[in-house]
Structure 1
Amino acid sequence: MADEMEQIGAGPFVAFDGLARLAAGSLAEAAVAAKRALERGGQGAVLVFDQATGAVRDLDLRGSEAEIAARYAPAEAPASRRGRPRLGVVAREVTLLPRHWEWLASQPGGASVALRKLVEAARKRDDEVGGARRRVEAAYRFISAIAGDLPGFEDAARALFARDKDRLRDCVRAWPPDVRDELFRFLRAGEEAVPG
């Protein structure tokens, strides 16, 4: 199985057979790994998780491996057109106080450039704060689906939401290594295995 994981590589989806990690990669790669596990008569439920959200992905695994790979292959990007690209600029009304307009007008590039920079800076701050919350929620969805019956699940969930990584490591110490390691991948805590 480890060799299969190395060949498939890391990506946005991960496939599990029971509590054993099969593969990570594109949706097509994870779907093919799931199909192989089902054909072997897997160790348990065969699940494919979206690594961005932690959600279980329902897949149609009928047909050959080639048909499954084609079904879940990423869509090709449309060919580029000649000329100026469409930037998606939308003109809307903004209501500000006169002192705000004066400040915006004095900025390099004018009001539009200054407003875009302010919005991008605010989005970046929100992503940093919201990103940690989204990782915790994705990790919880993952462990709820795969580890809900494992010992210490409730304590692990509490430690996860408290963001107490040391307590979380203690709570999941007895869990199968693949589940443990994937939990910490969801949290982006590194690829190191949790000490057993």
Structure 2
Amino acid sequence: MHPLSPIYCIIFHHQRRIAAGELAEAARLAHSQLGPQAVAETQVFDAQSSRPIDIDWRGSADDVAARLQPAAATESGPAARGRPRLGVVSREVTLLPRHWEWLGEQPGGASVTLRKLIDQARQADEAQGQGARRRAQESAHRFMTAMAGDAPGFEEALRALFAGDRQRFEQFTGEWPPDVREHSRQLAAVAFAA
């Protein structure tokens, strides 16, 4: 994701969904609804991946929203020399010598070849529908664990999610608090459809 792209989230206070949308605006709404004390008891999730998002709730609703706004791109004089920043992240890759040898023989070098291989694998994964299903299962699993880990039928619902059994999933999530149940089902729907 581009660093200036908005982050969409969903915010729960205990078992109740209180806000959803672009992060800064959803946080402003939550802070306004609950006040500075109760808002600290919320759980904020990335709307797509269900990864938790930490928010500094200090100050007014406007202060919180201002801290969450993506940094604006600024013009800082003439363009810098050299290669443009493309969002490339350097990390360590461990391969056997024969892999390094093969990569070194490829046109463009190791980095270009690895990027091409990864893109091909991702496209094949998406063509088979496995990527979307796996991401939906992982997102639903994260959310359910955080919000319904001690709810009745939790483990059975997880088994049904990963088995692709929508009927059993809905049966075991049926007694959960309404907002948690509905969001869990919404996240899982993509996994069942894939």
Scaled by the length of structure 2, the TM-score of the pair is 0.66
Q: Secondary structure at the match of 1:187?
A: helix
List per-residue Cα deviations over 1:26-75 (Å, max 9, x = no partner): 11123223323542875994111112221221211001111111100122
Matches of 2:167 and 2:148 in 1, distance apart? Answer: 19
Provide the residue aligned with 1:7 in structure 2. Answer: none
Provide the residue aligned with 1:186 in structure 2. Answer: 187
Matches of 1:67 and 1:162 in 2, distance apart? Answer: 45
Matches of 1:53 and 1:150 in 2, distance apart? Answer: 21
Alignment of 1:15 onto 2:6: no
Provide the residue aligned with 2:50 in structure 1. Answer: 54
Alignment of 1:35 onto 2:38: no
Matches of 1:119 and 1:40 in 2, distance apart? Answer: 45
Provide the residue aligned with 2:166 in structure 1. Answer: 165
Matches of 1:132 and 1:167 in 2, distance apart? Answer: 18
Runs of 4 or more, structure 1, over 4 Å off, are 40-44, 85-88, 115-121
In structure 2, the CA distance between the partners of 1:180 and 1:33, relative to structure 1 (3 Å rule), is: same
Matches of 1:44 and 1:60 in 2, distance apart? Answer: 9
Assess if the C-alpha contact under 8 Å between 1:13 and 1:48 holds in 2.
yes
- Quick one: which amino acid aligns to residue 42 of structure 2? V
In structure 2, the CA distance between the partners of 1:77 and 1:167, relative to structure 1 (3 Å rule), is: farther
Provide the residue aligned with 1:99 in structure 2. Answer: none
Provide the residue aligned with 1:72 in structure 2. Answer: 68
- Quick one: which amino acid aligns to residue 27 of structure 2? A
Matches of 1:32 and 1:156 in 2, distance apart? Answer: 33
Assess if the C-alpha contact under 8 Å between 2:137 and 2:162 holds in 1.
yes
- Aligned positions, number: 166
List per-residue Cα deviations over 1:9-28 (Å, max 9, x = no partner): xx720001111111111111
Q: Which structure dedicates a bigger proportion of its chain to helix? A: 2
Matches of 1:146 and 1:117 in 2, distance apart? Answer: 38
RMSD: 3.8
Assess if the C-alpha contact under 8 Å between 1:152 and 1:172 holds in 2.
yes
Scaled by the length of structure 1, the TM-score of the pair is 0.65
Matches of 1:40 and 1:134 in 2, distance apart? Answer: 34
In structure 2, the CA distance between the partners of 1:18 and 1:37, relative to structure 1 (3 Å rule), is: farther
- Quick one: which amino acid aligns to residue 176 of structure 2? W
5+ residue gaps, structure 1, are 1-10, 89-93, 97-110, 191-196
In structure 2, the CA distance between the partners of 1:133 and 1:148, relative to structure 1 (3 Å rule), is: same
In structure 2, the CA distance between the partners of 1:12 and 1:185, relative to structure 1 (3 Å rule), is: farther
List per-residue Cα deviations over 1:122-145 (Å, max 9, x = no partner): 422224422311211111111111
Structure number with bigger Rg: 1
